[in-house]
Amino acid sequence: MFPEAAASMKRLERETPVATVEVSLKDVMTSVEGALGAAVVDYSSGMALGTLGGGKDLDLTVAAAGNTDVIRAKVRTMELLGLSGQIEDILITLESQYHLIRLVTGRSGNGLFLYLVLDKSRSNLAMARHQLKRVEEQLEV
């Protein structure tokens, strides 16, 4: 790599804001229209490292564990098919909700995913994916 490019990359790494789990969850819940609940989950254990939102009809800790199985199944399927590349996100569409699962790949987030539940009638899926990607890039655990 050229010295100028290396210096530029280091400067960008320093300038990229870093966010904790709590800050990231607050950010996604306030920046995404129609957000009903969000979680940061360790998919090796299925444990939620943090949750925000949800309610009696949306138990985010149960959803965290269940969506861990979704990720594991997709990774196994990709291996069986010989597909390369990384999963960016997984979308589950229900009658009245979107459920977005985004694997965390940056910084120290390997083995984690962001989980976001949206009210389908009040949300913009493209904007939600964009905001979730931004939050994922800033998450530091």
User: How far are the Cα atoms of 18, 109, 127 from residue 24, in angstroms, in the given order?
Assistant: 9, 13, 16
**pLDDT number for residue 107:** 57
**pLDDT number for residue 21:** 87
**pLDDT number for residue 18:** 59
Mean pLDDT per block of 10 residues along the chain (141 residues) reads 49 56 90 94 91 91 94 93 92 96 76 94 95 88 72
**pLDDT number for residue 23:** 86
**Where does residue 24 fall: left (phi above 0), alpha (psi -120 to 50 degrees), or beta otherwise?**
alpha
